[in-house]
């Protein structure tokens, strides 16, 4: 296949009335997407990199508890990982739209290699302290946030548009597979060789992606007009998002889901604590299996259901899974609930991600994806704090029940924030008219 997809024409530096809605891709399975050489190569490299990042996260928390028993320092690890999202996401998206994305990604990947490698050397040689650990954790988080909008914007350049939803789903599934595998591998390496070795392995894990980017030669693209300033690029991106109804819908629906669904991630360790470390690992593994199953089934779902129906169904399934977690007393039920949550989570977020990428034109895609990342991560962070406070007051199980109910209640906004294009009518839907944008 060709190295990139032709970019849609730009009509004005701010608004483009051309719809780039993806044709129904139900006829393409997720596995057929892996037969695309470019996507398959990057997917494998990304899976290794994701695994290294999850290993790093586990080792960072463990090392901090080894350096100090202060709850403040331990809690600051998560702050160092999350803060860059709020500080850097929007500028990162604007920059990724203004420059050569391939070169930009090479720089961000190299910066993360350097940060992980230096931290690994400092740790192995016994020179690390809490301040240095937080500093390099922040630098790694900043590199990841700078990388993310440009990274997510690559998908339409790697696969035909009719396979985009499967590609997005598989990319998300890879991330969640790594979420299940990475912590277990990280714990094993920590026990055998220490946290410093984990950091060095994480640095090595980036090289597959770097080699892919080095050899990949995408087609030139329009960057939204000559001479645009950095500040103007951010402003144009925000204006574009406000003007496009489906972009607004994606951002609102993503934020609402993230706030309520965050209870799952915030309280999962507490739910799993009664099953021990192996039980926690089993639940994460089942979540990853469910995510992979969701990715494989998503192309079939897109053939038979509208985007809105998929998101509504996945929301209900995730709510049921959280409710079951709130009631369960056995590892078997908890693992099944985690698998269901994984299937729902990947189906919903992959659909929202795909709509965000296809509802905007290429010259502003990274900025739109930076807003998507911001509302998703911001919603998860805000919701985690909220549900943590609620759980402290009324208990973990009741909190999960309330969160599940809130998730279902959140669907009430769906009629005002629809995701489907005007021409998308569920089963048997015709392709959207590529010359109109009537929503």
Confidence of residue 298 (pLDDT cuts 50, 70, 90): confident
Residue 179, both tokens: 């979420």
Domain boundary among 221, 251, 286: 221
Same domain for 141 and 245, yes or no, is no
Q: Which residues contact 17 (CB under 8 A, 6 or more apart)?
A: 11, 436, 437
Give the whole-number percent of the chain exceeding pLDDT 70.
86
Highest mean pLDDT among 150-154, 241-245, 417-421: 241-245
Nearest to 51 by CA among 151, 200, 164, 201: 201
Nearest to 277 by CA among 214, 149, 183: 183
Mean pLDDT of 416-421: 86
Same domain for 244 and 211, yes or no, is no
Q: Is residue 309 part of a domain?
A: yes
Same domain for 278 and 217, yes or no, is no
Neighbours of 309 (CB within 10 A): 17
Give me the pLDDT at residue 30, please. Answer: 63
Q: Is residue 362 part of a domain?
A: yes
| CA–CA separation, 312 and 321 (whole Å) | 14
Q: Is residue 19 part of a domain?
A: no
Neighbours of 162 (CB within 10 A): 17
Give the whole-number percent of the chain exceeding pLDDT 90.
45
Residue 273, both tokens: 């604590």
Same domain for 328 and 194, yes or no, is no
Residue 35, both tokens: 């037969």
Nearest to 311 by CA among 358, 357, 344, 338: 344
Same domain for 273 and 201, yes or no, is no
Q: CA distances (Å), 13 to each of 16, 223, 225, 363, in order?
A: 8, 9, 6, 9
Same domain for 115 and 46, yes or no, is yes
Q: Above 50 in pLDDT, residue 189? A: yes
Same domain for 261 and 307, yes or no, is yes
Residue 99 backbone zone (phi > 0: left; psi -120 to 50: alpha; other: beta): beta
DSSP string of 220-282? P---SSTT--HHHHHHHHHHHHHH-HHHHHHHHHHHHHHHHHHHHHHHHHHHHGGGHHHHHHH
302: domain range? 237-419
Same domain for 38 and 68, yes or no, is yes
The per-residue pLDDT of the chain, averaged, comes to 83
Q: Is residue 190 part of a domain?
A: yes
Give me the pLDDT at residue 423, please. Answer: 41
| CA–CA separation, 276 and 278 (whole Å) | 6
Domain boundary among 176, 194, 221: 221
Give me the pLDDT at residue 35, please. Answer: 84
Confidence of residue 351 (pLDDT cuts 50, 70, 90): very high
Domain boundary among 162, 191, 221: 221
Q: Is residue 231 part of a domain?
A: no
pLDDT in tens, 372-389: 999 998 898 888 888 888
Residue 270: CA count within 13 A, CB half-sphere: 15
Confidence of residue 295 (pLDDT cuts 50, 70, 90): confident
DSSP-derived 3-state class of residue 136: helix
Give me the pLDDT at residue 16, please. Answer: 32
| CA–CA separation, 37 and 69 (whole Å) | 48
Q: Is residue 321 part of a domain?
A: yes
| Listed range (255-269, 281-295, 359-373) with the worst mean pLDDT | 281-295
Q: 42 and 209 in contact (C-beta within 8 Å)?
A: yes
Give me the pLDDT at residue 58, please. Answer: 84
Give me the pLDDT at residue 317, please. Answer: 97
pLDDT in tens, 193-228: 999 999 999 999 999 999 999 999 876 665 555 567
Q: Above 50 in pLDDT, residue 349? A: yes
Same domain for 246 and 332, yes or no, is yes
Q: Is residue 435 part of a domain?
A: no
Mean pLDDT of 178-200: 88
Q: Above 70 in pLDDT, residue 11? A: no
Same domain for 190 and 290, yes or no, is no
pLDDT in tens, 59-118: 998 898 889 878 678 768 877 888 899 999 999 999 998 888 899 999 999 999 999 999
- Give ∠ CA 436-166-106 in degrees, rounded to 5: 95
| CA–CA separation, 95 and 241 (whole Å) | 17
Neighbours of 135 (CB within 10 A): 14
| CA–CA separation, 224 and 363 (whole Å) | 5
398 vs 164, which has greater pLDDT? 398
Same domain for 74 and 161, yes or no, is yes
Angle between helices 195-205 and 207-215 (to 10 degrees): 10
Q: Above 80 in pLDDT, residue 244? A: yes
Give me the pLDDT at residue 173, please. Answer: 82
Residue 409, both tokens: 């209640």
Question: Structurally, how many domains does the chain consist of?
Answer: 2
Give me the pLDDT at residue 14, please. Answer: 29
Q: Indicate which CATH number applies to the domain containing 377.
A: 1.20.1250.20
224 vs 126, which has greater pLDDT? 126
Q: Is residue 228 part of a domain?
A: no
pLDDT in tens, 22-74: 444 444 566 678 888 899 999 999 999 999 999 998 899 889 888 987 867 87
Same domain for 108 and 184, yes or no, is yes
């Amino acid at each position: 296949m060709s190295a990139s997809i032709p970019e849609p024409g730009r009509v004005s530096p701010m608004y483009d009335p051309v719809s780039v809605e993806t044709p129904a891709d139900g006829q393409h399975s997720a596995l057929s997407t892996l037969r695309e050489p470019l996507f398959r190569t990057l997917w494998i490299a990304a899976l290794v990199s994701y695994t290294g990042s999850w290993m790093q996260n586990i080792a960072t928390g463990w090392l901090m508890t080894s350096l100090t028993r202060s709850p403040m320092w331990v809690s600051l690890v998560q702050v160092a990982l999350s803060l860059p999202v709020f500080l850097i996401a929007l500028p990162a998206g604007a920059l990724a739209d203004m420059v050569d994305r391939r070169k930009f990604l090479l720089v961000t990947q190299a910066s993360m290699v350097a940060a992980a490698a230096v931290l690994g050397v400092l740790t192995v040689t016994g020179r690390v302290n809490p301040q240095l650990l937080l500093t390099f954790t922040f630098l790694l988080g900043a590199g990841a946030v700078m990388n993310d909008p440009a990274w997510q914007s690559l998908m339409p350049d790697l696969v035909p548009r009719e396979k985009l939803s499967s590609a997005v789903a598989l990319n998300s599934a890879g991330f969640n597979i790594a979420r299940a595998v990475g912590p277990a591998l990280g714990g094993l390496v920590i026990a055998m060789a220490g946290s410093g070795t984990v950091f060095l392995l994480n640095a090595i894990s980036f090289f597959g992606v770097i080699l892919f980017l080095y050899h990949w030669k995408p087609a030139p693209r329009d960057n939204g007009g000559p001479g645009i300033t950095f500040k103007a690029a951010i402003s144009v991106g925000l204006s574009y998002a406000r003007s496009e109804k489906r972009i607004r819908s994606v951002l609102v629906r993503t934020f609402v889901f993230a706030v309520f669904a965050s209870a799952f991630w915030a309280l999962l360790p507490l739910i799993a604590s009664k099953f021990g470390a192996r039980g926690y690992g089993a639940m994460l593994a089942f979540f990853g299996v469910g995510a992979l199953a969701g990715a494989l089934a998503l192309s079939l779902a897109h053939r038979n259901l509208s985007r809105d129906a998929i998101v509504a169904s996945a929301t209900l399934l995730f709510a049921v899974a959280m409710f079951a977690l709130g009631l369960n007393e056995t590892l078997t039920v908890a693992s099944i609930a985690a698998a269901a949550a994984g299937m729902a989570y990947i189906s919903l977020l992959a659909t929202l991600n795909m709509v965000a990428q296809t509802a905007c034109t290429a010259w502003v895609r990274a900025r739109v994806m930076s807003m998507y990342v911001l509302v998703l991560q911001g919603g998860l962070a805000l919701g985690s704090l909220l549900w943590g406070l609620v759980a402290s007051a009324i208990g973990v199980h009741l909190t999960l029940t309330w969160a599940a109910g809130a998730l279902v209640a959140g669907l009430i906004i769906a009629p005002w924030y629809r995701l489907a294009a005007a021409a998308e009518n569920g089963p048997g839907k015709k392709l959207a008219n590529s010359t109109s944008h009537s929503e």
